[in-house]
Structure 1
Amino acid sequence: METVCNKLEKCMMEVKVTFTTEEWKNAQEKALEKLAKNVKIDGFRQGKAPMKMVKSRVGKAAILEEATDVVLKKSYAAILLDNNIQPVGQPQVQIDELTEDVLKVTVTAPVAPEVTLGQYKGLEVKKGTVKVTKKEIEAELANYQNQFAELIIKEEGTVENGDTAVIDFEGFKDGVAFEGGKAENHSLEIGSGSFIPGFEEQVIGMKVGEEKEINVTFPEEYQSAELAGQEAVFKVKVHEIKTKVLPDIDDELAKDVNIDGIETLADLETYTKEQIKNKKQT
C-alpha cells in the first residue's frame, strides 16, 4: 500500500492510496469466499458451490465492491495512523480507480485547525481535569463497529431504511435524459442522504427486480445551474438488497481495527479513552 498525504483548505487532509497488487488480489479472494456463503446454486448446498460458478453468478462488479470493503476495513486505521492524521469527524472515501488489477482511493478527513498563538509566556493557567465519560468511549466504539459492519444479501423482503440497494437509475427532465443522471449497479445506502432529497425515501419498499419512477426536485443550490430547482423523474430498478449486520463489540473487533498493540477490547477501550483525552487537551 502506497500513500500520498496532502493538506487541503478548510482543515481537511487528503490521502491518496494505491494498494499493491498482492493486497488487492488477496482482498478479491476473501470477497469471493465471503459472497459464496450466501449464494444458492441448484445442485449444491449453500456456500459449497465451486468458486468458478460462484464468481459467474455474483458477477465482477459485486466482487470488486465487496473486495474494496474488505481491503479498506483492514487498512483504514493504518492509513490514518501512518499519515499522522487524527480526524475530528467521519473521513470520506472516494474510489479513484477500480479494476481487477488496480484499486486507488482517496481518503479525505476533517482535522483540527492550526492555531496561531498569541502572547502566552508568563501567563499562569490552572490546568483543569480532563474527564472522559463512558458514553464518549461507547460512541467511539460504535464508530468502529459501524466501520466493520458487513453487508449481507437480503433474500426476501423490501428495501428498508439503513439497507443498501444496488440499483440502475436514469434521470429525465421534461422527458429528456440529462448528463450525469445515469448509473448501473450503483450501491445506495438508504438514509445516507447522498442522493437528491426525496430520492432515497421513495426507494424504500421496493423489491428486487422492481422498476419504479421516482419524482424529485433538485435543490435550489444544486451544482448544475440547469438542474437547480428543477423537477425531474428517475427511472429506477432494484437489482439487489443488502442489509447491514454489525459485529459484536468484543476482542475480535479490537483485532480487526488493526492498531499496533491492540489485541483485546480492553486495549481498545484504553486506547480510545486516551485518544479522546488528547483531543480534549489540545
Structure 2
Amino acid sequence: MNLISCEKLEKSMVELQFSIDADTFKNAVAAAFKRESKKYTVPGFRKGKAPRAMIEKMYGADIFHYDAINDLFPEAYEAAVKEANIEVVGRPDPEVVSMSEAEGATLKVKVAVKPEVTLGDYAGLNVTKKVKTVDESLVDAEIKRMQDRNGRLLTREGAAENGDTVDIDFEGFVDGVAFDGGKAEHYSLVLGSGSFIPGFEDQVVGHSAGEEFDVNVKFPEQYQAEELAGKDATFKIKLHEVKYKELPELDDDFAKDVSEYDTLDELKASIRKNIEENNQKQADQQVENDLIEQVVNGMTAEIPQAMYDARVDELVQDFQYRIAQQGLKLEQYLQYMGMDMNTFKSQFQEQAEKQVKMRLAMEAIVAKEGIEATDEEFNAEVKRIADAYKMEEDKVRSVVDEAAVKADLAVNKAIDFVKEKANITTETVEPAAESKE
C-alpha cells in the first residue's frame, strides 16, 4: 500500500487516496479466479473447469478484479489510515479510481474522522448548587408505605369497600359472545387500584362474598385490542372472598418491628436523613450536568453525523441487552409498541448527541491538561467490575481493553477537574418553590 494523499473535507470528513502495487493486485486476482471460477458456466466446459481467459471473455475482463479489491481493501485501508494518522469514526465509502494487473489499483475513500475540538472556558465556571430541603410529606409517605407493607389481610364479613382485595371469577361478553382474554378464575383484585376498565371496580364495591352478579362497562375508544375498542361489555362475576387490610399502629412498637430503631421518631429521623442525602446527590449531579453543559456550549467542533449514529446504535444495543435479560426480543418490543426501527432509534438521538459532545469536550480537556488514569485507578476499576459481575479479577483483565478503560477513567477525572476548578454557590430551596421554577 502506498498512501497518495489525505485531504480534509468539510464536517470532519477526510478523503484518502492510496494505491496497491501491481504484483500484490495481480496475485489477488489470480487467487480470486482460483476461488470464484467454479461459480461461472462457460459453454463447452464443465462448471469450474473453464480457462480464465474464456470466463473473462464471456463475463468481462475485470470480472475477478473486484473480488481482488474486496480481498485487499481491509488491510490496505487500515494501513492507509495508520499512515495518515487519522482517527476514523465512521464506515468508509470507497471508490475504485483505477485497476489493472499491469499497474495495480488506486482507491479513493471518504470517511468521517474524529473532529478537532476548540475549547472555550472550562476552569473557573460559575454554577449554583440548589439543595432541596426535606419535604416532610415524603417522610410521612415513606412511613405510610412501611405501614401498608406490614398490614394484615383479614376477611371482611360484609360488603366490599374501596381498598379491599377481592378474589373473583370473571368472564367478559360483547354482544353476548365471550371474547379472548376476558376470563379468569380466582383473580386477586385491589378495588380502587384502577387495574381494570373504568367502572369495573366501582361495580364490585358493595357486593359480598358468595354473590354472583354482572358488571357492565364500555371499553375505551383507544383500547389496545382494536376489536374491543369502544364496545359495550358485560362481565359475569362470582365473588369468592373479600379481605381488608388492618394496618399497625404508628408507634414505637411499630418502629421496633420494622426497623433497627427503638422509637418512631428515630425511624423518621433516619428516613429524613436518607432524603437529605438523596437531595445532596441530586444537587451534585445537577451541578455536574450544568458545568458539562457550559463546557459543551463553549466548545466548537464539526461533529460528523457518523459519531451520533454510532452512539445511537450503542444505546439501542444496550437497550436490546437489557430487555433480553427479561426474555424479550427487540422485534417483539417494537411490535408491542407499534413502532419501526427508525422511529425507535430517533428516540435516542438527543441523548446520543449530548453524550458525544460531552465525550469530545472532556477528551479535549484530558489532552490539554495532560490528565491520565494511573495503574492504581485501573486496578480499582477492574476490582469494581469484578465485584459487580461476580467475576475473578484476572478474568476481567483478560476481557477488558485496558487503554479504553483508562480513557474512560481519564474522562471522569476531567469532569472532576472541571468541578474542582468551578465556583460553586450553594443555595437551599424549598421543594414547593423549586418545583415552580
Q: TM-score scaled to structure 2, two decimals?
A: 0.34
Measured in 1, the distance between the counterparts of 2:247 and 2:276 equals 27
The answer as to 2:172 corresponding to 1:179 is no
Q: Which has the higher helix share?
A: 2
Counterpart of 1:243?
244
Matched AA of 2:189 = L
Alignment of 1:31-46 (within 5 A): none
Measured in 1, the distance between the counterparts of 2:122 and 2:189 equals 50
The answer as to 2:138 corresponding to 1:136 is yes
Measured in 1, the distance between the counterparts of 2:150 and 2:137 equals 20
Per the TM alignment, residue 268 of structure 1 is displaced from its structure 2 partner at its CA by 2.4
SS in 2 for 1:183: strand
Per the TM alignment, residue 142 of structure 1 is displaced from its structure 2 partner at its CA by 1.0
Per the TM alignment, residue 207 of structure 1 is displaced from its structure 2 partner at its CA by 1.4
Q: Aligned pair in 2 of structure 1 residues 205, 121: CA closer, same or farther (>3 Å)?
A: farther
Per the TM alignment, residue 252 of structure 1 is displaced from its structure 2 partner at its CA by 4.5
Q: Aligned pair in 2 of structure 1 residues 266, 120: CA closer, same or farther (>3 Å)?
A: farther
Per the TM alignment, residue 214 of structure 1 is displaced from its structure 2 partner at its CA by 0.8
Measured in 1, the distance between the counterparts of 2:233 and 2:122 equals 57
Measured in 1, the distance between the counterparts of 2:142 and 2:123 equals 36
SS in 2 for 1:279: helix
Post-superposition, which runs of at least 4 consecutive aligned residues in structure 1 deviate over 6 A?
none
SS in 2 for 1:206: coil
Per the TM alignment, residue 189 of structure 1 is displaced from its structure 2 partner at its CA by 0.8
For 1:240-278, what per-residue CA distance to the aligned partner results, in whole angstroms no more than 9, with x for missing partners? 1101111122345445546xx556434421221122223
SS in 2 for 1:125: strand
Per the TM alignment, residue 231 of structure 1 is displaced from its structure 2 partner at its CA by 1.0
Counterpart of 2:270?
271
For 1:33-66, what per-residue CA distance to the aligned partner results, in whole angstroms no more than 9, with x for missing partners? xxxxxxxxxxxxxxxxxxxxxxxxxxxxxxxxxx
Per the TM alignment, residue 205 of structure 1 is displaced from its structure 2 partner at its CA by 0.9
Per the TM alignment, residue 136 of structure 1 is displaced from its structure 2 partner at its CA by 2.8
Asked whether the equivalents of residues 255 and 261 of structure 2 are also in contact (C-alpha less than 8 Å), the reply is: yes
Q: Aligned pair in 2 of structure 1 residues 131, 236: CA closer, same or farther (>3 Å)?
A: same
Per the TM alignment, residue 216 of structure 1 is displaced from its structure 2 partner at its CA by 0.5
Q: TM-score scaled to structure 1, two decimals?
A: 0.52
Counterpart of 1:233?
234
Asked whether the equivalents of residues 131 and 279 of structure 2 are also in contact (C-alpha less than 8 Å), the reply is: no
Alignment of 1:38-187 (within 5 A): 122-128=124-130, 130-154=132-156, 156-187=157-188
SS in 2 for 1:268: helix
How many residues align? The count is 161
SS in 2 for 1:143: helix
SS in 1 for 2:224: coil
SS in 1 for 2:182: strand
State which drifts further: 267-276 or 158-167.
267-276
Q: Aligned pair in 2 of structure 1 residues 263, 223: CA closer, same or farther (>3 Å)?
A: farther
Measured in 2, the distance between the counterparts of 1:153 and 1:120 equals 65
Measured in 1, the distance between the counterparts of 2:143 and 2:233 equals 41
For 1:51-97, what per-residue CA distance to the aligned partner results, in whole angstroms no more than 9, with x for missing partners? xxxxxxxxxxxxxxxxxxxxxxxxxxxxxxxxxxxxxxxxxxxxxxx
Q: Aligned pair in 2 of structure 1 residues 181, 124: CA closer, same or farther (>3 Å)?
A: same
Matched AA of 1:214 = V
Q: Aligned pair in 2 of structure 1 residues 124, 163: CA closer, same or farther (>3 Å)?
A: same
The unaligned stretches of length 5 or more in structure 2 are: 1-120, 283-437
- Larger of the two Rg values belongs to structure: 2
Q: Aligned pair in 2 of structure 1 residues 233, 254: CA closer, same or farther (>3 Å)?
A: same
Per the TM alignment, residue 147 of structure 1 is displaced from its structure 2 partner at its CA by 2.0
SS in 1 for 2:186: strand
SS in 1 for 2:126: coil
Matched AA of 1:137 = V
Q: How high is the sequence identity, in percent, across the aligned residues?
A: 52
Q: Aligned pair in 2 of structure 1 residues 220, 246: CA closer, same or farther (>3 Å)?
A: same
Asked whether the equivalents of residues 261 and 267 of structure 2 are also in contact (C-alpha less than 8 Å), the reply is: yes
Q: Aligned pair in 2 of structure 1 residues 235, 257: CA closer, same or farther (>3 Å)?
A: same
Measured in 2, the distance between the counterparts of 1:226 and 1:263 equals 57
SS in 1 for 2:268: helix
The answer as to 2:194 corresponding to 1:200 is no
SS in 2 for 1:222: coil
SS in 1 for 2:143: helix
State which drifts further: 133-142 or 194-203.
133-142
Q: Aligned pair in 2 of structure 1 residues 264, 205: CA closer, same or farther (>3 Å)?
A: same
SS in 1 for 2:139: helix
C-alpha RMSD over aligned residues? 2.2
Per the TM alignment, residue 133 of structure 1 is displaced from its structure 2 partner at its CA by 3.9
